[in-house]
Amino acid sequence: MQEKLKKISDDVLLQIEKVTDLKALEQVRVAILGKKGELTAVLRGMKDLSSEERPLIGKLANEVRETIENRLDEAKKTLSGKMREHQLQNETIDVTMPAKKIELGHRHPMSIVLDDLKDIFIGMGYSIAEGPEIESNYYNFEALNLPENHAARDEQDTFYINSEMMLRTATSPVQVRVMEKHTLPIRMIMPGRVYRSDEVDATHSPVFNQIEGLVIDENITMADLKGALAEFAKTLYGDAVEVKFRPHYFPFTEPSAEVDVTCVMCGGKGCKICKGSGWIEILGCGMVHPKVLEMSGIDSKKYSGFAFGMGLERLTMLRYSIEDLRLFYENDVRFLKQF
């Protein structure tokens, strides 16, 4: 057994001396020290030795194994160094070559307009509130004076999760949550994503963005509403823009109105965008319905308020003369780089 171990050691050390690459060195290691290697087989055969021979052969086998492992490590370091040196001598780096161009991201046109809207209203003393996109039937409809079977619900085809939960159809539920939890007075805007099962076309999408506003305080009147929205429109589109309020119906406000501004495309002269009228609708608004105030725990005899809502996509389309809403969601870099 001693002679066999010595022969294995001599043979392996000779093989290691002749190895010229790391792959061949690994093959030598596996052939000797692997699960089916020569030295491993010898060690497994020690169980057949006598009790007197076993300690001596075991000690010798461990010495042989340690010697082989040390020589393998030395050879690996030597070969790795030679390969690295060869690589450095034969590979060149042209430091004059231009670096890879890093493509920077670009702000989306809707993000640009949304930031401008936030700046306008924050400058007017408003705060920003957010709420969940998955809403209950109560917050999405009932608390906004839209009880079950109300005709106005038909205008908001809804993505229902179950009979009580749905994807919100407006950011109006955030107004209710704000009225329930915040101390008065309230001056807030609520931007966010909303969902309706509309067909996708140039002016409609099942997913779009709204910005709603809410003001609640003592002695708030329609004059405050008109003044705030006129200031908003002139800040957004310029002092030359005119603002018009048209009577309308919303279940959660009374009285209600839609707001038009002079067409930003033609300056009120009439074009295909405003259909020759010289006016473009930008938002809906009204005085918060007393019933909505009472359902949120606010005394409608002491407090009053106004609310408004607008579509971010529509405002962005008007600012940049974009005629197809679908361009916002196609992620075409050629389109986005224009803004």
Give the pLDDT confidence of 95-137 residue by residue, as tens digits.
788 888 887 778 899 999 999 999 999 999 999 999 999 999 9
List C-alpha distances in Å: 274 to 35, 247, 262: 83, 19, 9
- Among 175, 248, 255, 253, CA closest to 214: 175
d(CA 174, CA 208): 16
Q: What is the pLDDT of residue 166?
A: 92
What pLDDT digit, counting tens, does each position of 87-96 carry?
Answer: 778 877 777 8
Give the tens place of pLDDT for each residue, 226-271: 999 999 999 988 888 899 999 999 999 999 999 999 987 787 788 8
Q: What is the pLDDT of residue 277?
A: 87
**pLDDT band at 222, cuts 50/70/90?**
very high
Token couple for 16: 């290691």
Contact 272, 166 (CB under 8 A): no
Whole-number pLDDT of residue 230: 94
The three-class DSSP label of residue 210 is: strand
pLDDT in tens, 267-298: 778 887 788 888 989 999 999 999 999 999 99
> Any residues with CB less than 8 A from the CB of 77 and at least 6 apart, and which?
none
The confidence score (pLDDT) of residue 13 equals 80
- Of 82 and 46, the one with more pLDDT: 82
Tell me, what's the pLDDT at 35?
75
Query: Mean pLDDT score of the chain, rounded to an integer?
Result: 87
Please tell me the predicted confidence (pLDDT) of residue 220: 96
User: In this structure, are strands 304-311 and 207-217 parallel, antiparallel, or unpaired?
Assistant: antiparallel
In the block, residue with structure tokens 């050879």 = 75
DSSP structure string for 110-131: HHHHHHHHHHHHHHTT-EE---
Region of poorest pLDDT, from 45-49, 204-208, 281-285: 45-49
Name the residue ranges covered by the structural domains of the chain: 2-90, 109-336
pLDDT (0 to 100) of residue 100: 83
pLDDT tens digit sequence for 163-189: 889 999 999 999 999 999 999 999 999
Q: Please, what is the Cα angle at 296 between 294 and 298, to 5 degrees?
A: 55
Percentage of the chain beyond pLDDT 90 is 45
CATH number (3.40.50.720, 3.20.20.70, 3.40.630.30, 3.30.930.10) of 109-336 reads 3.30.930.10
- Residue 46's pLDDT is 67
- Give the CA distances from residue 310 to residues 24, 74, 86, 254, 323, in Å, rounded to whole numbers and listed in that order: 73, 74, 68, 18, 18
Residue 1: pLDDT over 70: no
Q: Does 152 have pLDDT greater than 70?
A: no
What global pTM score does this model have?
A: 0.67
Across 208-227, average pLDDT: 96
